[in-house]
Amino acid sequence: MRAVSLVAWLCLLFQVWAAVDPSAAGLEHFYNLEYDEAIAAFRRALERDPNSPENYNHLAMAILYREMLRTGALESELVSGTNPFLRRPKMQPSPQDEAEFHQAISKSISLSESLIKNDPKDVRAYYTLGVAYGLRANYNFLVRKAYLDSLRDATTARKLHNKVTELDASNYDARLIQGVHDYVVGSLPWHIKMLGFLVGFRGDKQEGIRTLEAVAARGDQNRVDAEILLCAIYRRERMPAKAAALLEHLIGRFPRNYLLRFELAQMYSDLGDGRRALEVIQKIEELKRSGEPGYRNLPAEKIYYARGTIQFWYRDLEQALANFNRVVSRSDELDLNTSTFAWLRLGQIYDLKGQRVKASEAYNQVLKMAPDSDAARQARRYLSEPYRRSTSGG
């Protein structure tokens, strides 16, 4: 199961592999979570240049990540640090989105392969072909739940980008995939590494991190992407100070991306600075209240959820209780991940307060809403045995 969770993490990171021109309007919208605007921009780009594999990759990327954000899949990994992909239902994009995604990937692959056939040393074509396989890996995991197919496509992407650096050793952008792949494969158990498509890839977590740090320092078009990836890795490796520094920089560049601020609050919380974490949440609330772009349509319940989570871990149970009750009162308007974890936290708070009946009611609500979710797995445990927290706060 741990192997699958690493595949899930790898797939999430493919959101940034498709970046070719970070200054483009569509990509600016993409990094600011404005996926409708990004899709419109990429469609316009295709009208101008229908033979660009990059544009098809961008369109597919934005379609998929709009659905991830809508369902809470992207947000739950970046903000909560949970691994809900394994126990959540398959994503179910609309038939129109599915068709457009597949058409874009197929077109990118065919255009890239045609360019390679005409010129076996076409660096750009190998790069775009690798991106297309990376995005398909993402789809295989999130929509098809085909874990091994996903890892297979990710490995194909790695091989294609190895070819890029063989042809052009100065291309640090292509090393992004290499770094991520080294990190993830280095984390896999041996029996997964024995799979045929992974032969020759031993993986090395530390080498993967060093490669990504090199891209962040020396890359051209993928420098920002490497920084985003490093934020995720630093969090996973329990290096919140490094993650916080990068997040502060990224917020300055993409100020409308509210997920970056939520993640920054979590990093301050992990550093033991609850006051500063809550100040970040307060800033998000102020941006929403003033109607700032990117924040005006952010559900207030997501702010309550983030604030309540910090208060929960810092033992301010009464305030946390109030905030989670605010969340569940509007749970029908939120994504499933936020709603179920709010009910789970309510159950845990009631257990800590010795109110077992209310705790059980909250846990049962989780099971009713999403019986196969990660929150439900935990709820079943606490229905059997009340939640208790160690004196160290775990």
Task: Let me know: does 321 contact 356? Beta carbons within 8 Å.
Answer: no
Average pLDDT for the chain: 86
Task: Give the model's confidence band at 236: pLDDT under 50 very low, under 70 low, under 90 confident, else very high.
Answer: confident
Instruction: Give per-residue pLDDT as tens, 187-206.
Output: 665 445 444 445 455 678 89
C-alpha distances in angstroms, 242 versus 228, 231, 238? Answer: 12, 8, 9
pTM of the entire predicted model: 0.85
- 71-87 pLDDT per residue, tens: 777 664 544 444 443 34
Is the confidence at residue 34, as pLDDT, over 60? yes
Topology of domain 1-237, per CATH? Answer: 1.25.40
Give the number of other CB atoms < 10 A from CB of residue 213: 16
Q: Determine which helix (DSSP H) or strand (DSSP E) holds 4, and give its type and residue range.
A: helix 2-12
Average of pLDDT values for 134-145? 84
Q: Which of 280 and 173 is assigned the larger pLDDT?
A: 280
